[in-house]
């Protein structure tokens, strides 16, 4: 996936500030689905991470965010949000 510039390991090793900056930068590029993958790398389990990556692959293949993909992406985000500490929910959600 060419639009991902960081690996799961790199994302997990970032400080919260670095992670926040990555999400802000991607938001400015309209890389919202990529942000979901990064959030999954940081907070998700293998299932949510694979699901987020599948959504990104479909998004890139189709070339746009369909309503069905958007619904799936929103579901993954809600599952990920439930795993975050409340202080991180606010920080991360402001970037999405």
pLDDT at 1 over 80: no
- Could you tell me how many residues make up the chain? 96
CA 65/CA 51 separation, integer angstroms = 15
| Nearest C-alpha neighbor of 96 from the set 85, 78, 50, 51 | 78
Q: With contact defined as beta carbons under 8 Å apart, do 59 and 30 qualify?
A: no
User: For residue 15, what pLDDT is reported?
Assistant: 93
Write the pLDDT tens digit of every residue in 13-45.
999 899 999 999 999 999 999 999 999 999 999
Residue 93: pLDDT over 70 = no
| pTM exceeds 0.75 | yes
Asked if 38 and 84 count as a contact pair (C-beta separation under 8 A), the reply is: no
Taking alpha carbons only, the member of 82, 68, 70, 2 closest to residue 39 is 82
**Of 35 and 89, which is predicted with more confidence?**
35
């Amino acid at each position: 996936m060419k639009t991902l510039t960081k690996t799961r390991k790199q994302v997990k090793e970032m400080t919260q500030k670095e992670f926040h900056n990555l999400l802000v930068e991607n938001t400015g590029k309209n890389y919202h689905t990529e942000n979901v993958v990064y959030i999954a790398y940081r907070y998700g389990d293998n299932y949510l991470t694979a699901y987020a990556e599948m959504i990104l692959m479909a998004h890139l293949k189709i070339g746009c965010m369909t309503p069905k993909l958007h619904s799936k992406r929103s579901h993954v985000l809600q599952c990920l949000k439930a795993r975050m500490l409340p202080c991180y929910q606010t920080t991360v959600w402001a970037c999405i």
